Amino acid sequence: MRLLVSKSFTSNDELYKIVDLLNKTLKDYNLMFGLSRDTGGQTMTLSIYEV
């Protein structure tokens, strides 16, 4: 896997739904989306990978 880009956002529980939708819809394009939350829970980072 190769990281293409990552971007941090204010924490929002709805981001998981978006990442799930993107992974299901764009898997045929060899893209994978990841989401992580910082230890404080204030920031989430969306990462896009090329598989």
- Residue 1, classed as helix, strand or coil, is coil
Please identify which residue in the block is written with the tokens 């978006």: 18
pLDDT reported for residue 37 = 95
The model carries a pTM of: 0.87
- Residue 26, classed as helix, strand or coil, is helix
- Residue 25, classed as helix, strand or coil, is helix
pLDDT reported for residue 30 = 96
Q: How confident is the model at residue 13 (pLDDT cuts 50, 70, 90)?
A: confident
Q: How crowded is residue 24: how many other Cβ atoms within 10 Å of its Cβ?
A: 9
Domain count, the chain: 1
Residues of the domain holding 42: 2-50
Provide the sign of the torsion angle of the four alpha carbons 36, 7, 5, 33, taken in this order.
positive
Please identify which residue in the block is written with the tokens 């989401």: 35
